[in-house]
Structure 1
Amino acid sequence: MAMNEDGCVTAAVAAGMTPAVALFRSLADETRLRIVQRLAVGEARVVDLTGELGLAQSTVSKHLACLRDCGLVDYRVEGRQSFYVLTRPELLDLLAAAEGVLAATGAAVALCPAYGSADSAVEAMTR
C-alpha cells in the first residue's frame, strides 16, 4: 500500500482501498489528530494552528492538505487569510467512540505487537 512521505493516502491509492481504510489512515497521524481536535473548537488559520500546536507552518500546511484531500477539512478565504474548518462534525462522534474503545481496552491497544509502542503502553497504563 503506497503512501506519500507524510503518511497521507494519495487519491490514486485511496481509489483502491476501502473508504474506511482511507479514513483511518488519514487519522492515523498524531499531528492530523491534533489539528482535527483543535478545529473541533472552531475555525483556525494556519498561523493559529502553528502557534497553538507548536508546529512549523510547513508541517501544518502539509497535514491540512491531507485532511482536505480526505474531505474532512475545508477552508474559506477572507481577504488574504484562509480559515480552516471541519467539514464533517460527525467525525467528533467517531473520535469520542474511539476514546471509549481505548478506555475499555486499557493497555491492550498500546501493547499491540503490530502498532503499539513501549511509550504508548506506559501512557495507557498510567491513565
Structure 2
Amino acid sequence: MTMIQEEGATLDEVATVAYAHLFQAFAEPTRLAIVQHLASGEHRVRDLVEHMGLAQSTVSKHVGFLVECGLATMRPEGRSTWYSLAQSELLRTLIAAAERLLDATGTQALLCTHLRLPHTHHATDTDKK
C-alpha cells in the first residue's frame, strides 16, 4: 500500500491507518467477492461485471480500492487492463487464519476456495517479486 505520512503523524498513527485501510478492503462484501474471483486468476473489469452482475462503475470502484491497498495489481494489455491478486500466498495465509478465528468463535465459514488450491502462476504474477 502506498501511503504518504502526513506531517506530524507518528509511525504508530500511520501504521494504524494502514491496517484500517487494509481491513476495509475485506470488510465490504463486493470487494471480498472480487478477491474471490481474482483468486482464480486474472480478470478484466468487464469479466467481473459479467460474473457478478454489477454495474461497471461499481466494479471499477472496488477494484481500484483493492489496487490502492496493494491487494491487487493491474497489467495493461492493448486496450484492456487485467487485474490479479498481488500476493496470493500471503492472502491464502490471511484467509486461512480468518477461517480459523471464525471457527474458534463458533462460525464455520469457508472463503476463497481458489486460494486453497494450487495455482498455476502467470509469467506476470507479482508473487515472485
Question: Which band: TM-score by shorter chain?
Answer: 0.5 to 0.7
Where does residue 55 of structure 1 map in the other structure?
Answer: 54
Distance 2:103 2:53 in 1: 27
Q: SS of 1:106's equivalent? A: coil
SS in 2 for 1:75: strand
Q: Secondary structure at the match of 1:74?
A: strand
User: In the alignment, does 2:105 pair up with 1:105?
Assistant: yes
Is 2:41 aligned against 1:42?
Answer: yes
Q: Give the drift of 1:12.
A: 6.8
Provide the TM-score with structure 1 as the length reference: 0.68
Structure 2 length-normalised TM: 0.67
Relative contact order, CA 8 A, sep 6+: which one is greater? Answer: 2
In the alignment, structure 2 segments of 5+ residues that lack a partner are: 7-12, 108-129
* Contact 1:31/1:63 (8 A) holds in 2: yes
Match of 2:95 in 1: 95
1:68-83 alignment to 2 at 5 Å? 68-83=67-82
Question: What number of residue pairs does the alignment pair up?
Answer: 97
| Residue equivalent to 1:116 | none
CA RMSD of aligned residues (A): 2.1
Could you tell me which amino acid in structure 1 is paired with residue 105 of structure 2? Answer: T
C-alpha distance in 1 between matches for 2:59 and 2:4: 23
How much identity, in percent, do the aligned residues show?
Answer: 49
SS of residue matched to 1:27: helix
| Aligned residue number for residue 118 of structure 1 | none
